Amino acid sequence: MNIKRLKRLLVVIAVFVCVIVTSAFSVSAEEKKFYLGGNVLGFTIDTQGVTVVGINEVITEGGLVSPCKKAGIIVGDVILSFNEKVINTPLDVTECLESYNGGEMVTKLLRDGEVKLVDLTPAKDLTGEYKLGIYLQDLLNGLGTVTYYNEDGSFASLGHPISDERGRVYDVVGGDIYTSSVIGVNKAEKGRAGELKGMFIGEKPIGIVEKNSRVGLYGKMNKFKTDGKIEVELSKGVPGKAQIYSTVDGLTPKFYSIEIVKADYISGSYKNFVIKITDKTLLEKTGGILQGMSGSPIVQNGKLIGAVTHVFLNDSTRGYGIAIQNMI
């Protein structure tokens, strides 16, 4: 569903939770300050190419035909171009078919990191329209929590990438950001991750998506206001009491108590922290860490030291966090 064309509020469920592995890297020891995030934003993501999620047959006067299967296209392929026309959305595919004049279309694909060229010939269905017999992934959209802002309105969020079910990081070519309100939760249960339920507010975006990396989703706000700064802790967080700053209702983030069970900077993975939710109010409302809370700042001794990234499926009160050094 294309968010840009909606004429009303859109209710969405947070979907941006993925497994990642990322190496820790050093940052300048110079003390820096950032604006604390904690608020939930709605994201619509434009990726390079369109992903094939299903293949079917076209009903023609001569019978059933499968143009994509004949061309050797398979589920999981990413279509990059037709006859050198760049394809980034399903609408691009529709426009190519509407202007199709016959013959083979040289199709550039990305499969398992390798670029391939195949010849694809559309088939005319019983209505006289040309079809490929293909199902394509629509615009990615979901909720995510901002970790920190810079003074120019640029921000970091999520603490992990937007990736597919195989763990491949999407190559983002753009996207929009919307004000969002949390209108409810699906509580976490043992063996099942819970979710924030949110609503995109307004038709106009308030910023843009600029980069999808292995340590977070980055972008910039059109207008940016905040009520103060919190110092970024460039030294290591330690086991003990801490807080997360997260939005689980409405528009306003709140502090909730947690315990840092483990701090590990040696493994070089995203598992820099193991955290446990101890706040009774949060546990009563959510059952623990939910999808959509990824990116929630972790604060210890008044300083930002990291962000929530994952939840343990067998214990939703526990999860992982990434060190702020990795996100910067």
Q: pLDDT digits over 111-143, tens only?
A: 887 899 999 999 999 999 999 989 887 667 888
* Residue 37, domain member (yes or no): yes
Same domain, 169 and 312: yes
Q: Could you list the residue range(s) of the whole structural domain that residue 164 is in?
A: 14-47+148-327
Please indicate, yes or no, if residue 229 is contained in any of the structural domains. Answer: yes
Domain end, chosen from 105, 132, 159, is at 132
* Number of independent structural domains in the chain: 2
Q: Is residue 98 part of a domain?
A: yes
264 and 154, same domain (yes or no)? yes
Nearest to 233 by CA among 103, 325, 165: 325
Same domain, 72 and 114: yes
Q: Is the pLDDT of residue 23 over 80?
A: no
CB-based burial label for 284 (10 Å; 0-12, 13-18, 19+) = exposed
On whether both 242 and 120 belong to a single domain, the answer is no
7 in a structural domain: no
- Report, as residue numbers or ranges, the catalytic residues: 160, 279, 294
First to last CA, the chain: 32
Confidence of residue 220 (pLDDT cuts 50, 70, 90): very high
Task: Tell whether 155 and 270 lie within a shared domain.
Answer: yes
In a shared domain, residues 165 and 311: yes
Please check whether residue 5 lies inside any domain of the structure.
Answer: no
Q: Residue 97 maps to which CATH number?
A: 2.30.42.10
Would you state the pLDDT for residue 24? 30
CA angle 147, 149, 150 (to 5 degrees): 145
| Residues 115 and 239 reside in one and the same domain | no
249 and 173 in one domain? yes
**Residue 117 domain-assigned (yes or no):** yes
Q: Which of 108, 132, 156 is the last residue of a domain?
A: 132
pLDDT tens, position by position, 264-292? 876 556 789 999 999 999 999 999 999 99
Q: Are residues 179 and 256 in the same domain?
A: yes
DSSP 226: -
For position 9, what pLDDT does the model report? Answer: 39
Per the DSSP assignment, residues forming a β-bridge with 145 are: 40
Same structural domain, 237 and 172: yes
3-state secondary structure of 224: coil
Residue 170 DSSP symbol: P
Task: Give me the percent of the chain exceeding a pLDDT of 90.
Answer: 56
* Residue 4 lies inside a defined structural domain of this protein: no
Residue type, 311: V
Whether pLDDT at 80 is above 60: yes
- Res 30: pLDDT: 45
The last residue of one of the domains, among 132, 159, 174, is 132
161 in the same domain as 298:
yes
Q: What percent of the chain has pLDDT over 70?
A: 87
Largest separation between any pair of C-alpha atoms in the chain: 72
Residue 33 counted as domain residue: yes
Q: Are residues 228 and 299 in the same domain?
A: yes
